[in-house]
Amino acid sequence: MINASVFFPSTLKDYKSKVDYGVAPFPHSATGKSITLGVQDYFMAFKKPGNAEAVKAWMNFLFQPSNYAGFLKAAGGFIPATKSASSAVDSSLLPFINQLPNAIFYPGDLAAWPKVAGTITTQVGTGVIYDAKGVLDKIQKVAVAAGTK
């Protein structure tokens, strides 16, 4: 089992891979709830005098149904954020889309999240070598200290 993203099917296709794969939520206990990790991406624009109209024009252009569907296809696997683009979705994305109701997303709106994410990235792998509970407790302490703002 590997933890892969929605880009996995298109990558296999690009490399003409014959790997037979399936998509499933994370394993859980018999009493646990089925979940998957949700990840969101953002379009960003910078507040600079005179940029507002250009940004608005770009976003209006991008989210025209034919343009947005083309962007999603060229990007190789983003799940559409609009109903109009969802009608042209690649069928290989459907197993991922079907798991969205049970997705838990990174708290991207918290200023404290980058510190916590950095600690997870650098420390979670050490749980294989060292005391797993101790590593998770250390990460939890960083998260609590970082706060919820």
DSSP code string of 13-26: HHTT--------PP
pLDDT tens sequence across 45-98: 888 899 999 999 999 999 998 898 888 888 877 888 888 888 777 788 888 888
* Share above pLDDT 70 across residues of the chain, in percent, rounded to a whole number: 100
Compute the distance between CA of residue 117 and CA of residue 5 in angstroms, rounded to an integer: 18
Residue with tokens 């420390």: 123
